[in-house]
């Protein structure tokens, strides 16, 4: 179990991030970032989690987060890039440019800028970690969510470069690939999917085992198919 760390987790107001924040807050100082002030205040009142209200779509606010963390939590040792959105989008529609920018900003640019802005702090610690939450759609797309797929592919690829660049440092880099989970991420029917609380528990188990890539539930099967039967995975996900 991770303990005595100072952890910044984005997208901690709802879904997987919220459950992860609650579990981690048992033995760590957790800073929960999101836009939903009330949800973050509830986490503070119930679990002693520190709220940090910010909109990752806004690059000035992303820079503010970096400045605030550098000023207030110089002991920061873990960054979890969990916040994400998923939009159904038709690229043939001329009015989709704002939606494209928004999704790339929240899912890829903001995590990347947070990493770059917080690495100087993380590298000062005895040991530290960057954890990026991606998706099996990074490896094999779903046709209705092209920018989501591409943003997660970019984050997946960046995670690998980052791991190479930090290989001789005290900062470990971990990728988490959750399965379809019962959260508000998409409008898909997820009633038979695992709960966010279960997924959060599996993430902690993977971290305990020091795995570089933590694939959970159906995502483990997805990874296996990606390697050995990619056409089957493509057929399974394309219209999922
Ligand atoms: N659920 C799945 O099936 C699934 C599968 C694979 C991967 N994932 C990945 O897992 C991660 C968590 O997803 P989830 O299912 O838990 O989603 P969720 O329940 O919709 O929660 C998303 C979180 O991201 C935050 N967020 C969204 N836009 C933001 C913005 N502009 N600024 C700051 N925070 C923002 C939300 O906070 P506010 O509302 O407070 O802004 C919320 O806390 C995502 O990266 C997702 O891509 C999910």
Q: Which position has the token pair 């981690």?
A: 24
**In the prediction, which pLDDT does 149 show?**
98
Catalytic position from the list 148, 153, 162, 171: 148
Q: What's residue 60's pLDDT?
A: 98
- For the record, the structure tokens of 14 come out as 């709802």
Strand partners, 215: 177
pLDDT value for 96: 85
Q: Residue range 149-172: average pLDDT?
A: 98
Expressed in angstroms and rounded, the spacing between residue 84 Cα and the centre of ligand 1 is 4
DSSP character at residue 124:
T
pLDDT at residue 46 is higher than 80: yes
210: left (phi over 0), alpha (psi -120 to 50) or beta: left
Check if the beta carbon of residue 153 is closer than 8 Å to that of residue 105.
Answer: no
Domain borders along the chain are 6-238
Cα(43) to ligand 1 centroid in Å equals: 16
Cβ contact 10:111 at 8 Å: yes
Distance separating alpha carbons of residues 95 and 12, to the nearest angstrom? 30
Selection from 80, 81, 102, 99 nearest residue 91 by Cα:
99
Q: Say if CB 82 and CB 20 are below 8 A apart.
A: yes
148 is known as an active-site residue: yes
Residue-level pLDDT at 203? 98
User: 83: Cβ below 6 Å to ligand 1?
Assistant: yes
Q: Is 202 in the pocket of ligand 1 (CB under 6 A)?
A: no
Q: Are 6 and 73 in contact (CB under 8 A)?
A: yes
Average pLDDT over residues 151-160: 98
Q: Ligand 1 mean position to 106 CA, how many Å?
A: 9
What pTM value is reported for the model?
0.98
Helix (H, G, I), strand (E, B) or coil at 112: helix
**Average pLDDT, integer, range 4-21:** 98
pLDDT for residue 224 is more than 80:
yes
* pLDDT score of 238: 86
pLDDT of residue 188: 85
Best of 9, 10, 11 to mutate for ligand 1, by most ligand atoms within 8 A of CB? 11
Query: What mean pLDDT is reported for the chain?
Result: 96
Give the per-residue pLDDT at 137. 98
CA 159–ligand 1 middle distance (angstroms): 18
Residue range 42-57: mean pLDDT, rounded:
98
∠ CA 165-167-173, nearest 5°, is: 85
Pick the CATH number of 6-238 from 3.40.50.720, 3.40.30.10, 3.40.640.10, 3.40.50.410: 3.40.50.720
Please report the pLDDT score of residue 161 as a whole number.
Answer: 98
The number of C-alpha atoms within 13 Å of 78 and in the hemisphere containing its C-beta is 23
Whose C-alpha lies nearest to ligand 1, atom 46? 84
Could you read off the pLDDT of 66-113 as tens digits, one per residue? Answer: 999 999 999 999 999 999 999 999 998 867 899 999 999 999 999 999
Quick check: CB of 188 below 6 Å from ligand 1? Answer: no
pLDDT at 187: 85
């Amino acid at each position: 179990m991770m303990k005595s760390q100072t952890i910044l987790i984005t997208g901690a107001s709802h879904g997987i991030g919220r459950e992860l924040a609650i579990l981690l807050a048992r033995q760590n100082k957790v800073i929960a970032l999101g836009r939903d002030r009330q949800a973050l205040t509830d986490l503070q009142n119930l679990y002693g989690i520190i709220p940090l209200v910010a909109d990752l779509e806004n690059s000035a606010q992303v820079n503010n987060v970096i400045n605030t963390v550098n000023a207030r939590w110089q002991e920061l040792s873990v960054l979890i890039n969990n916040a994400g959105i998923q939009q159904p989008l038709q690229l043939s529609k001329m009015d989709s440019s704002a939606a494209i920018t928004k999704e790339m900003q929240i899912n890829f640019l903001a995590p990347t800028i947070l990493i770059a802005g917080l690495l100087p702090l993380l590298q000062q610690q005895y040991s530290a970690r960057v954890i990026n939450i991606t998706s099996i759609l990074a490896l094999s797309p779903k046709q209705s969510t092209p920018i989501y797929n591409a943003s997660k592919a970019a984050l997946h690829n960046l995670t690998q470069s980052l791991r190479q660049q930090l290989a001789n440092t005290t900062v470990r880099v971990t990728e988490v690939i959750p399965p379809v989970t019962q959260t508000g991420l998409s409008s898909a029917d997820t009633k038979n999917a695992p709960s966010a609380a279960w997924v959060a528990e599996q993430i902690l188990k993977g971290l305990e085992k020091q795995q570089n890539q933590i694939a959970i539930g159906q995502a483990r099967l997805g990874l296996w198919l990606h390697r050995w039967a990619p056409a089957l995975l493509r057929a399974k996900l394309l219209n999922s």
